[in-house]
Amino acid sequence: MATNTPAAPRSSSRPSDATGEYSHAQILTILTGLMLGMFLGALDQTIVSTSIRTIADDLDGLSVQAWVTTSYLIASTLTTPIYGKLGDLYGRKRLFLIAISIFVAGSALCSFATSMYQLAAFRAFQGLGAGGLFTLVLAIIGDIVSPRERARYSGYFMAMFGTSSVLGPVIGGFFAGRAELLGMAGWRWVFLVNVPVGVLALVVVVRTLHVHHARPARAPRIDWWGAATLVLGLVPLLTVAEQGRQWGWGSGRSLVCFVLGAVGVLAFVAVERAMGDDALIPLRLFRNRAAAVTIAASVIVGAAMFGGIMLLPLYMQIVHGASPTASGFLMLPLVVGIMVASISSGRLIARTGRVRPFPIVGSVLIVVGLGLLSLTGADTALPLVMLPMLVLGYGLGNCMQPLMLIVQNAVSPTEIGVATSAATFFRQIGGTLGVAVFLSVLFSTVGESIRTAIAQASVTPQWREALAGGARLDPSVLARVKDDSSVIDTLDPVIAHPFKVGFAESMDTVFLLAAGVAVLAVVVLQLMPAVRLRETSASAERAAAADAGDARDA
């Protein structure tokens, strides 16, 4: 007599075997592990930036501190498309666990660095893991949630980004301000704190992340030559983007980097054309109008976003004298704008299924926000600075998630990783170029701006009174201030004011230039076709395709 054997209970985070869809509760369970992984990368970006000067002073390497940033940036940017492609081929959970493990190991190594060059090498290793954190999380969300419903969950990630943006400078300032903590230099905990968070993320991901991976119908070719030529093209270009200001854009080293980068990029395009569907970044992706417009807009928005945002902490610290910790709190209007826009746009997209208007409106708001910031000065009250920051954040919140939704919606479920990594990759490239160009403009103009401000201030009664009272202006300060802005804080307030005016005016030039770049995004986004978001997740579509295949075989 047959007996009824009870079915094994399905994991609370596994999809329905019949439909491939996940319930709301299952998605929230999976999000726990994903957000811990993203929190690692997001926190690291802000916690290191506020403590890098202390680290450089302790390791006697202030002049080479840029290499610590450059090495991490190059490694994380290069691995972004590689993680996306490998995730499509071999499953994203495995790659996500590898990325977290590499990032945690790199963090531990960084905490024991004994020189800036050693720290730069360890940061590069850490960057090999960081490249997968953001890309794989966004791709996994693309697997388990339909494009239309995906926007509903963006608020969770924006809340995490907002939390890390505020906590990063606070934690970084706390550790950097401690000469010693538990027997180690305080700054070493900036990296060591990633270890327990990363271990927790590994445990949670192993327990909660159950995403079905459909193996390709045929054995894929691995695009090794594409990866090699990508390295050849991007390493020199990213290096010169970060170091060109110090080397000189027309110097021999810069020209060599430009030539090597151009050769590498051309070779990469040739290899990708030859690889076809197995390419790291398939060129046919650019023949898809929605994907091509999104990628172009991502480059431009990335340049305006990173180029503009990186000036705000400098403005707060140099012009308004805020500490690194305080400048983190002063960034709250920007963070609030991003969070509110992401949540509100997500709900509207989920309700209506329309996504095209949001990045267009968002790019317009970016132009307005950066334009208003270009009108601020050394004496502008902070509330008047925070209003355009809020507008800028609201614009960014309407661009970031909707653009990712569009590109994921434009490709088949089997290529979500490639599409996600391509959009992320090109946004990072745009951000790197934006930061390089805007910093170059800032420091090439600030000297003349300060000299002009000093000339105008020197004829005022307040200046003469300060000099009569014993205040002095050492001629060497003007040469030193571009490398060490903290000397401004040692000056008499009246003497220091024109220095702040000079920095503010040069920053205004950069904000205006960033606004001009954002105008290009408004123009490009007009080419976006009408987009209707799918109402089924990638896992459900794969399940349906598998059922159809079984039916044909039967």
Same domain? For 92 and 129 the reply is: yes
> What pLDDT was estimated at residue 4?
44
The answer as to whether 333 is a domain residue is no
Q: Which residue, 343, 342, 332, 336, is CA-closest to 362?
A: 342
CA 265 to chain centre: 22
CA distance 495 to 492: 5
Positive or negative, the Cα torsion across 183, 188, 189, 194? negative
The answer as to whether 40 is a domain residue is yes
> What pLDDT was estimated at residue 394?
92
Phi, psi of 442 (to 5 degrees): -60, -55
Q: What's the half-sphere exposure (Cβ side, CA atoms, 13 Å) at 464?
A: 3
CA distance 305 to 198: 28
Same domain? For 72 and 179 the reply is: yes
Same domain? For 62 and 199 the reply is: yes
Whats the size of the chain, residue-wise?
Answer: 554
CA distance 444 to 441: 5
Same domain? For 57 and 201 the reply is: yes
The answer as to whether 396 is a domain residue is no
The answer as to whether 336 is a domain residue is no
Domain end: 484, 504, 524, which one?
A: 504
Same domain? For 155 and 243 the reply is: no
Which amino acid is present at 6?
A: P
**What Cα–Cα distance (Å) separates residue 373 from each residue in 232, 340, 430, 441, 515?**
38, 20, 21, 16, 9
Same domain? For 248 and 120 the reply is: no
The answer as to whether 524 is a domain residue is no
Range of the domain at 237: 224-279
**What Cα–Cα distance (Å) separates residue 489 from each residue in 199, 406, 481, 496, 497?**
41, 47, 11, 7, 10
CA distance 263 to 268: 9
CATH code (residue 181): 1.20.1250.20
Q: Which residue, 17, 36, 48, is CA-closest to 197?
A: 36
CA distance 401 to 138: 10
CA distance 449 to 503: 7
Same domain? For 99 and 191 the reply is: yes
CA distance 117 to 283: 37
Same domain? For 173 and 87 the reply is: yes
CA distance 126 to 108: 9
> What pLDDT was estimated at residue 293?
93
The answer as to whether 168 is a domain residue is yes
> What pLDDT was estimated at residue 470?
74
Same domain? For 206 and 234 the reply is: no
Domain end: 213, 235, 267, which one?
A: 213
Which amino acid is present at 96?
A: F
Determine the 3-state secondary structure of 211 from DSSP. coil
Same domain? For 127 and 263 the reply is: no
Q: Measured over all CA atoms, what is the biggest interatomic distance in the chain, rounded to whole angstroms?
A: 109
> What pLDDT was estimated at residue 517?
92
Instruction: Please state the pTM of the whole predicted model.
Output: 0.81
pLDDT in 10s for each residue of the chain, 554 residues: 444 444 444 445 555 544 556 777 778 888 888 888 888 887 887 788 767 767 877 887 766 677 887 788 888 888 988 898 888 888 888 899 999 999 999 999 999 999 988 999 999 999 999 988 888 888 888 778 877 777 677 667 766 776 776 677 778 878 877 778 888 888 899 899 899 989 998 988 888 877 666 665 566 677 889 889 988 998 898 888 877 877 888 899 999 999 999 999 999 999 999 988 888 888 888 888 998 999 999 999 888 887 777 788 888 888 888 876 777 778 888 888 888 888 888 888 878 878 889 999 999 999 999 999 999 998 999 999 999 999 999 998 898 888 888 888 888 777 788 888 888 888 888 888 888 788 888 888 888 898 899 889 888 888 888 877 777 777 777 777 766 677 787 788 888 888 899 989 999 999 999 999 999 999 999 999 987 776 665 565 555 555 555 555 55
CA distance 60 to 116: 8
Query: How many domains is the chain built from?
Result: 3
Same domain? For 38 and 120 the reply is: yes
Same domain? For 53 and 167 the reply is: yes
Q: At what angle do helices 400-409 and 416-457 cross, to 10 degrees?
A: 150
481 secondary structure, DSSP code: T
The answer as to whether 171 is a domain residue is yes
Domain end: 213, 233, 260, which one?
A: 213
> What pLDDT was estimated at residue 1?
41
> What pLDDT was estimated at residue 11?
45
Beta-carbon contacts of 497 under 8 Å, excluding residues fewer than 6 positions away, are 378, 453, 457
The answer as to whether 409 is a domain residue is no
